[in-house]
Structure 1
Amino acid sequence: MRAKLALVAAFTLLTAACGGGGGAQTTSDGTTKVTLGLIPIVDVAPVYLGIKKGFFAEQKLELTIQTAQGGAALIPGVVSQQYQFAFSNTASLLLAGSQGLPLKVVSAGNASTGVEDKDFGAVLVKKDSPIKSVKDLAGKRVGVNTLKNINTLTVSNSVREAGADPTKITFVELPFPQIPAAIEKGDIDAGQVVEPFLTIGKEQGLTPIGNPLNGLMVGLYFTSEQFAAQNPTAVTGFTTAMKKSLVYANGHPEEARAVLTDYLKLEPAVQQKLVLPKWPTEIDRPAVQRLLDMAKKDGLITKDPDLTKLIP
């Protein structure tokens, strides 16, 4: 991970030295074209809703969306300005910040509902599994969408708090859509998923045993320091449009639920049953600090990121 991040940082310095000009294009009518990196999960529904409602067009922004398996994979793309903006889980951004990567958070993303058994994420197991609680995950194979991210971190923390040894967990990296089937086949013993894959798994007979994401600020939108410095109007416009999108999604949950089919293949029953996350407009800094403390305890982060630079 350190070698990979160092390579990305070196590439960024090289492109900057060669005059890599920020990656955005502005048309004759003043519209700025940008690429936004997303994960195809329920968390990012406000973006698609905001595009439909014209919130980004109001800010003279035209978004091209590209998707990836996890937020950690999108971070190098933002640093190299393959993407001008992206969505990532908070833990991966804290890790990147601790490594000195030049990133800047520009908007809140999503958060846990904080309601037990009515949240958008959980650990799934087979119905007849001997795993009855997160404590039982020690010594087991647990599927996550990306290694060294918010799911590995929070699962480990939950197991530790339950009195078991999280270092005995074997984490297996799998795309979210593949995790329920891998549990069913026995390739893994459990899997940490978010919606819609939580409801899909439950519809297939899998059982949730706990939600390690409970009460946390799960995702954030971000850009690079270089892009922010070169394109302040575009960044301010993106932040403004995202805030309107988040407010609208919170106030119109059925429209947020309906827009999911624009980027996800969902059965009608799953679409109606799945749990939507909270979409706050402000970043919950104490919740971010909780994640940072977890990451330090887990050894994932050994040097504090500069939170005043990462999350202005």
Structure 2
Amino acid sequence: MPKGSTGRGLRTRLPKVATTLTLVTALSSCGLLGGSDDETEPQSSGNGKLEKTELTISIMKTTDLTPFHLARKEGFFEEEGLSVKTVDAPSGNASVQKLLGGESDISYSSYTPLFLAESKGAAASKGGVKLVADAASAGPNSTMVVAVPDSPVKSVRDMANKRVAVTAPNTISDLLTNATLKTNGVDWKSVTYVPTPFPQTAQQLKSGNVDAAFVTEPWIVDTQRNAGAVPIFDTAVGPTADMPVAGWGALGDFVEKHPNTIAAFQRAMQRGTDLALSDRSLVEPLLVEFAGVDEQTAKMATLLTFQSKLEASRIQRVPDLMLEFEVIKTELDAEKMIVPTAPVT
């Protein structure tokens, strides 16, 4: 069993996961597709030797990183010949800055900082920003605006001229909120957004420093339990239903020089995603361990929809929405940024 395994054993879960996982596991246990036992360079499941075997990956404390942590614990990266080191980032913007500054090979972030960096040409000299894997999309009741009972905000139509907590301006937080306001005929430009780290949201609501707040899990449950907040409206409905919210980025130069390494990362992430989708009982302990929530919150949380394979038509919705709400000034073609997903064979 790989180091760090959850101990449940892959064979006990084979009826629950895709047949492709069975094939990958079988191939991995046979010297990586016929490779001799004395080979010192790992191979990426038959698609060529890895150009780089040690990856530094920037992550955050968020629930939609569960597939990554699951892939790591189950040894899926090891089976691809990868050794993964992580560095923590406090926000998507900070995570992208680690990528641009060379502190990470691959960075997790909400999509908006990745597209914003590309639109500004921040990585133009390094091959641009590339998307190497999807992470999550906004399912029903997973991205909410909440308020305390004595707030003047009782419905979406009360949001004009109000103070609303978001993680940061020009992120998926205010983007989804603005889109929902516009759909409901509310002047989204009149809203004052107050930068607030998710862990501080409950206190901001209790103190009356904001009238409402955008939150995802586990902070929806956290604000309910610690501030008495109630859901006001779902931001993932209508035009923003199933909106992609986060993914994994790399620099174009790195992708060009390390195609087999990127493919190996993609396969490990797909397996982790498939496994997370197949069995929630595997997910909840990882929320406690890595997302900083307690067991009760982990059981109650309405999770984002885990994704891995990048689809241009889906991802294009994000830069289109950013352009509509003036986060970027020119059109971006998501397809040109996407690295095709390597199949799990």
Number of the residue aligned with 2:220: 198
Aligned to 2:131: 105
- The structural deviation recorded for 1:72 is 2.0
Q: Distance in 1 between matches of 2:146 and 2:118?
A: 31
Aligned to 1:234: 261
Tell me by how many angstroms 1:291 deviates: 2.6
% identical aligned pairs: 25
Aligned match for 1:308, one of 314, 335, 338: 335
Structure 1 SS opposite 2:256: helix
d(CA) in 1 for partners of 2:189, 2:117: 22
Q: Distance in 2 between matches of 1:284 and 1:256?
A: 24
- For residues 293 and 309 of structure 1, the distance between their equivalents in structure 2, rounded to whole angstroms, comes to 14
**Given that residues 69 and 146 in structure 1 are in contact (C-alpha distance below 8 angstroms), is that contact kept between their aligned partners in structure 2?**
no
Post-superposition offset of 1:259: 1.1
In structure 2, the CA distance between the partners of 1:65 and 1:59, relative to structure 1 (3 Å rule), is same
| Residue in 2 that maps onto 1:170 | 192
> Take 1:147 and 1:218, find their aligned partners in 2: how far apart are those partners?
15
User: What is the CA deviation profile of residues 202-241 of structure 1, one whole-angstrom value per residue up to 9, with x for unaligned ones?
Assistant: 2231111112234211111111112112222221111111
Amino acid at match of 1:168: S
CA distance in 1, matches of 2:242, 2:307: 12
Corresponding residue for 2:146? 124
Residue 96 of structure 1 is matched in structure 2 by: 117
- TM-score (normalised: structure 1): 0.85
Q: C-alpha distance in 2, partners of 1:224/1:290?
A: 21
Greater radius of gyration (CA) = 2
How far off is 1:284 after superposition?
4.5
Q: 2:319·2:334 contact (CA, 8 Å) conserved in 1? A: no
Residue 139 (structure 1) aligns with: 161
Shift in alpha-carbon separation, 1:133–1:291, aligned structure 2, 3 A = farther
Distance 1:87 1:37 in 2: 6
Backbone CA RMSD of aligned residues: 1.8
Other structure's SS at 2:305 match:
coil
Stretch of structure 1 that moved more, 74-83 or 301-310: 301-310
Task: State how far apart, in whole Å, the 2-side matches of 1:281 and 1:74 are.
Answer: 19
Alignment of 1:278-297 (within 5 A): 278-297=305-324
* Kept after mapping to 1: 8 A contact 2:131/2:337: yes
Could you tell me which of 231, 236, 246 is aligned with 1:208?
231
- Secondary structure of the corresponding residue to residue 63 of structure 1: strand
Give the number of equivalent residue pairs.
281
* CA offsets 1:32-68 (integer angstroms, 9 cap, x no match): 2222111201011111111110011111112222222
Tell me the equivalent position of 1:4: none
Amino acid corresponding to residue 112 of structure 1 in structure 2: A
Letter in 1 for 2:93: A
The answer to whether residue 207 in structure 2 is matched with residue 185 in structure 1 is yes
Provide runs of 4+ in structure 1 moved above 4 Å.
28-31
Distance 1:208 1:284, change over 3 A: farther
Question: Which residue matches 1:156?
Answer: 178
Measured after TM superposition, the shift of residue 251 of structure 1 is 0.6
| 1:40 pairs with 2:61 | yes
Gaps of 5+ in 2: 1-39, 43-51, 340-345
Aligned with residue 251 of structure 1, among 275, 278, 281: 278
1:126: how far off?
A: 0.5
| Kept after mapping to 2: 8 A contact 1:98/1:306 | no
C-alpha distance in 1 between matches for 2:88 and 2:179: 28
Q: Secondary structure at the match of 2:186?
A: coil
Is the Cα contact below 8 Å between 2:156 and 2:184 reproduced in 1? Answer: yes
